[in-house]
Structure 1
């Protein structure tokens, strides 16, 4: 049960410390026990969830493997892009696997958390840029957070399916759990507002119509919570297996990097949690022992306060 006295303080805490929050939904045992919106947002507002998109992409890869479109996570990435013959072999790139992309352990030339996103997004071919950068520095197996890795996974999905990642998600994930089909965002340009800002609607794609893998999806907060609940349900929805149960187990398995298959892993006083997290404070946090899902949508601001602190310090203590 949720302590109403403690949750009554959430409104003030969010306004004072997490001021860019658009909405929050808390599910306990699959039921909404707290829901609130801020500014002009409401339950129907579609909000750009930033890198939370990565965790959804991870689910899509698991579904594609279960359906036989992708053989396994051990497949070599370059095997999906044979036409990029102009990219010279460096002895490392050719060993990078789908597993490395999922766990952010592919080697890139940039320092961790310093990915050249502007250069990536302004290049005419995002796939070529990502492949060229891969293997230029570092070792396979070292954690290095990369949005380019997520985009390569989306490109792989597109190639094996012969359709866009967005369409694949609509058919095999979103509509299966009661989320409205996601529309394609008609890209007129590739400036900041079109890629990351408030103009974003539906799901963004690159100049070659590859659905963005690392960001660019808009959902309501309730839809975010539904996706989190699907993971708490071990991939089942209304008795139907949507995501393979073993994929979810692998996705959130503890490791030294505290990062699974595009899910962040946490621990708090014996409670394990896993979270999809994105810029601005977008979060889907799942705490299995408490049967808890916390979905938070936010608009982008630089250096927002970590939403895990909100969950850990204010929401978890309210669950009895």
Structure 2
């Protein structure tokens, strides 16, 4: 159900031809675009989905989640539950703190977590993900610099903000935000990963759909006001989206314009929440506009460059370079001949791998079944079936390749699959369409073993690897 009013582009001062060129440029670019929504003057003027992706599906937002965590901190501060200058160590118990508290750890305040100036020399999240007690691990890490002096992007800092919100409210972050943010915005589909110590991970892991993220962007643009009510203090969003600290050492031009409270400043007086592999909630205060993009890319700057080259001129009322827009926006299933008959045997894969492959079976009808390991410690697997033809919809637990293994989703995710033959190989494609992740698995049987050459489009680990099955099982 639509929550935002729709309008023609022309009625909101934009050219249809310019927006068509913007969509065409996104479609022609190297980054794979999955959904787009543009708001102008409070109205949706552009909404597109590249099939099999859907605007209505939840989408894993990665670090866009941080901006929602910032919102929760602002609400807790407004409720008098903490202040921005409270020491971080004041929220935690003696058994969570190190035996010796360094001067730098003692000096670390909530504001340093918000601005990524904790004093650590690198992101702490990798160290945290190796331990069940992530709070204790964070507090035990060496703080090399005086807090407030050095910007280092640090997802572990956001995890600590979530932990603090949970301590002062008695609720996990998602539960705290549901009645205060998500339900008023209509984002009732929201899910958020939870750590093994039962804390919403905060810095990543939030999944909502494209329109819900557009509602959040519009809330930012309206300084926290929604449907006549002030959901979030205007002063909080004014501070959070302003430049609080410099980040000049960042390489890409849109990542060294300053950092707020879990928001990035950008060129052209914009600010945004952004997440790995091209998830964007981009706000244009001067043009009363919000742009949402979900995508799959390792070159996030390329998407912003397309925005500056094609959308910004449209917002300014200038000419936009013409680019043809395709009649249909889609990411079609790979085409090829039907896979050859398999032997129906199950080939077990015991080696750890980034796709979570545990088993492969190719049946006499050419259908392949992949056993995928579930996240978590129970050792379970689930099956994904890949057959010839167009995308076929499947369902899977909250498991995906290349994702962090220190958290779990409470619900399953939508998946589409397809397969074709390449010589003697079966090539299967799996799209976890509520995420950016895509796996292409090329499978061959020889000498009683299955070899799988895997390619992932994006990943926090390796994107290409080969696994070979154990000796054939007749199960």
Q: 146, 163, 168: which one pairs with 2:176?
A: 168
Q: What is the deviation of 1:221? A: 0.9
Q: Which residue does 1:179 correspond to in 2?
A: 187
Further displaced range: 254-263 or 72-81: 254-263
Residue deviations 1:153-176 (CA, integer Å, cap 9, x gap): 000011111111110011211111
Q: Which has the higher helix share?
A: 1
Q: State the secondary structure of the residue aligned to 2:62.
A: coil
Hey, what's the Cα distance between the residues in 1 that align with 2:164 and 2:277? 28
| Structure 1 position 39, deviation (Å) | 3.1
Counterpart in the other structure of 2:264: 264
- Alignment of 1:82 onto 2:78: no
Q: TM-score, normalised by structure 2?
A: 0.59
Question: Over residues 258-288 of structure 1, what are the superposed CA-to-partner deviations in whole Å (9 max), with x where a residue is unaligned?
Answer: 11111111232xxx11110110110101011
Q: Is the 8 A contact 1:20 1:280 kept in 2?
A: no
- Over residues 98-132 of structure 1, what are the superposed CA-to-partner deviations in whole Å (9 max), with x where a residue is unaligned? 0000011111143xxxx354432121111112222
- What is the RMSD of the two structures over their aligned residues, measured on CA atoms? 1.6
- Unmatched segments (≥5 aa) in structure 1: 183-201
**Runs (5+) with no aligned partner, structure 2:** 1-12, 248-257, 318-475
Runs of 4+ in structure 1 deviating by more than 6 angstroms, as ranges, are none
1:279 aligns with 2:279: no
| Alpha-carbon distance in 1 for matches of 2:294, 2:102 | 41
Q: How does 1:248-259 map to 2 (within 5 A)?
A: 248-255=237-244, 256-257=246-247, 258-259=258-259
Q: Distance in 2 between matches of 1:98 and 1:18?
A: 39
Please name the residue that 1:140 is paired with. 147
Partner Cα separation in structure 2 for residue 158 and residue 116 of structure 1: 20
Q: TM-score with structure 1 length normalisation?
A: 0.87
Name the residue aligned to 1:218. Answer: 207
1:11 equivalent in alignment to 2:18 = no
- The SS at the match of 1:27 is strand
Listed as ranges, the matches of 1:1-320 within 5 Å are: 1-70=13-82, 72-83=83-94, 84-110=96-122, 115=123, 117-133=125-141, 135=143, 137-141=144-148, 142-180=150-188, 182=190, 202-255=191-244, 256-257=246-247, 258-268=258-268, 272-299=269-296, 301-319=297-315, 320=317
Compute the displacement of 1:44 (Å): 1.0
Distance 2:23 2:271 in 1: 24
Distance 1:276 1:242 in 2: 19
- Answer whether contact 1:17 1:305 (CA < 8 A) is retained: no
1:92 match: secondary structure: helix
For 1:266 and 1:134, locate their aligned partners in 2 and report how far apart those are by CA, in whole Å: 31
Name 1:195's counterpart in structure 2. none
In structure 2, do the counterparts of structure 1 residues 288 and 12 end up closer, same or farther at CA, with 3 Å as the change threshold? same
Q: Which has the higher contact order (CA 8 A, sep 6+)?
A: 1
Aligned-partner SS, 1:280: coil
Larger Cα Rg: Structure 1 or Structure 2?
Answer: 2
